[in-house]
Chain A
Amino acid sequence: MPSTIVTIELNGTDRELIARPSTTLLSALRETFGLMGAKRGCAQGGCGSCTVLLDGRPVVSCLIPVVTVDGSAVETIEGLADGERLDDVQQAFVDHFATQCGFCTPGMIMSATALLNRKPDPTRQDVTEAICGNVCRCTGYEPIITAVLAAAERRRGDPAVPTPTVPTPTVPTPTVPARPAPTEAEV
């Protein structure tokens, strides 16, 4: 099949590219437009590192032939900040130490952004479900969930959510009720 010209609205600007039928949205973003924020982790839709917003919905861009999204709006991690000013989700990820190696971070932030656009006041469960397709192998899910909830508050304009002065503990200090010592027979 021949290559075709595809037009997408990329982070608010109309862009064109010549695409082969096998060109994925992820390759178009990275190789044609030089937007390296979306990552290729598995190339099989399993890790979520390549998540971008397609007409507002989070999608794994590694599985989408770009010719099938002609005329759509695509938002990537590069479109979030206003110059050097981070958006609320990005800032919350920085403030709450929700990054480690950083490879899953762009995809994670795009999934979170899609959630907050759809549901400004999410529950913890909502956040968990929204990022369930994004794998963080450094296993930092707790601070990520905390960051997304903080971003939601900040976006709603709740009385200025203060930047934490210490990292939010991810595991509360155990307050296990005292229990009798095990008898010799139990142990």
Chain B
Amino acid sequence: MARVTPIDTAYFKGERAGDFAVIGSAVPRSDARGHVTGRTVFFEDMTLPEMTHVKIHRSTRHHALIDRVDVSGALEVPGVLRVITHEDVPNNWYTVLRLIGVGPDDEPVLAEDRVLYRGEPIVAVVAETEEAAREGAARVAVGYTDLPAVLDVEEALADGAPIIKQAGTNHFVYEGHHCRRIRFGDVERGFAEADRIIEGRYSSSPIEHAPTEPTGCIVVPQGDGRLRIHTNTQAAFFTLDNTALILGVPPTSLRVVGGTVGGGFGGKVDVIVEPLACLAAMLTGRPAKYVFSRAEEMQVSSPRAAERISIKDGVMDDGRIVARKITLYVDAGAYSRHSPYGTTKAAAHMPGPYTIPNVHVDAYCVYTNRTPSSAMRGFGVTIGDFALESHMDHVARELNMDPLRLRLKNAYRDGDMKAHRKIASGTALVEVIQSAADLVGHDLPPEYRAMSSTERSEG
């Protein structure tokens, strides 16, 4: 099969000619000097006159109706300036990805009549000092009626499971479908033709990014009436636009100052602290700081989603995989955040970098009463690869076959049609495996050595 994108070897011909000033030499990082002198300015590195502090009273229940909220205890704490409830938030409902057309708005900035996860924010307390804000938040009293909690993705989708979402389903709806689906070839025919069926089930836990610098921001009312938001967001424009929509103000009335992030890894792309800090600044006319404690960072900030992935392969005795059926559950937790997108990414990543003629994928974005999950380094793909490659090893063991040869035999080549209807191009898996085999002294027979990503020798 011809390579779809021919390699243009002429382009890099002069690379070693020696006239590059940067490529091949070590260039000092432009930010290193600031880092080693302590002069790099992170969002919290400022002390402002009249600065106020925001702390949150959070749900102590996984799933409950809120019967009453009593803030009088908070207001009695010396130094507490005011409390903020959902009634103070101009547009309380949002979802981060509505900026790219994802809906519905399924998450409240502050809880209204119910909470869907332990740690969900209910009341924000604004005070003169951090201590007073913390004390005020602790003095808020909330009465609950507990509802049955759903803490497992498959239980959430089972018949008769309590529906936890107001939209009416415990899963995200993809264009009218209950999951993100990929249909390629005929997987049942593939299973019928296969010599063997080999199945596996893989699961992962949520993973917290645990940045050394906690998520936070400082909002300063400017003389021109705009709010200046010093933040460690990884997504300045998600923050700007979502905050403006929540506050019901034009984006031009906000100014985001960011770009310096003390560790993010995807954990700072949600829009959590800025809207409430802006509200605190608007309601008091003073600078407001809202920064997660370490405990909040660990419990409340969104982790990488837990996933559960079942793989069923139809395999020929010579190692060719002729059918692969995957059921994948992403635990979004209580709210969407970036999980509908992550689940689509997970589906598109299946069935891995292998050419399999019959593929069937059901990828579910599932809501549970757990901490909302969101972005983290390659989310949607990382855990999928763990499952896929664990399964490839499992198949190799079952067939009593060298795992590298199994992968070489099934590796995609340039020109192959992938399950989600994109043509593979610029592939290099065959060559990478061959090089890796060399590095670890793993012998490959000549026919495997001769394989190439640009052509398929057999089949």
Interface of A toward B, CB cutoff 8 Å: 22, 30-31, 34-44, 46-47, 49, 76-78, 80-81, 86, 89-91, 93-95, 97, 99, 101-106, 109, 135-138, 164-167, 174, 176-182, 184-185, 187
Would B44 and A102 count as touching, CB distance under 8 A? no
Size class of B's contact patch? 35 or more
Would B263 and A103 count as touching, CB distance under 8 A? yes
Q: Which residue of A lies closest to B38 (CB)?
A: A37
Q: Which residue of A lies closest to B213 (CB)?
A: A103
A139 to chain B, nearest CB (A): 10
Would B28 and A94 count as touching, CB distance under 8 A? yes
Would A187 and B47 count as touching, CB distance under 8 A? no
Q: DSSP class of A's interface residues: helix, strand, loop or mixed?
A: loop
- If A86-B33, A187-B403 touch, whether A177 touches B441 (CB-CB below 8 Å) is yes
Residues of A contacting B403 in the complex (Cβ-Cβ under 8 angstroms): 187
Q: Which residue of A lies closest to B439 (CB)?
A: A174
Residues of A contacting B209 in the complex (Cβ-Cβ under 8 angstroms): 137
Q: Does B294 reach chain A (CB closer than 8 Å)?
A: yes
Query: Which residues between 28 and 53 of chain B lie within 8 Å of chain A, taking CB atoms?
Result: 28-29, 31-42, 44-47
A135 to chain B, nearest CB (A): 6
From B39, B214, B444, contact of A41 by CB (8 A): B214
The stretch from B9-17, B65-73, B394-402 touching chain A is: B394-402
Residues of A contacting B78 in the complex (Cβ-Cβ under 8 angstroms): none
Interface of B toward A, CB cutoff 8 Å: 25-26, 28-29, 31-42, 44-47, 131, 209-214, 260-265, 293-294, 396-397, 400-403, 439-444
A156 to chain B, nearest CB (A): 20
Q: Which residue of B lies closest to A78 (CB)?
A: B38
**9 tightest A-B CB contacts, nearest first:** A37-B38, A103-B262, A102-B35, A181-B443, A178-B441, A36-B45, A77-B38, A90-B36, A42-B294
- If A30-B47, A166-B25 touch, whether A137 touches B210 (CB-CB below 8 Å) is yes
Q: Which residue of B lies closest to A49 (CB)?
A: B212
Would B400 and A187 count as touching, CB distance under 8 A? yes
Residues of A contacting B211 in the complex (Cβ-Cβ under 8 angstroms): 101, 103, 137
Residues of A contacting B263 in the complex (Cβ-Cβ under 8 angstroms): 101, 103, 137-138
Residues of B contacting A39 in the complex (Cβ-Cβ under 8 angstroms): 42, 44, 212-213, 262
- If A40-B44, A166-B25 touch, whether A101 touches B32 (CB-CB below 8 Å) is no
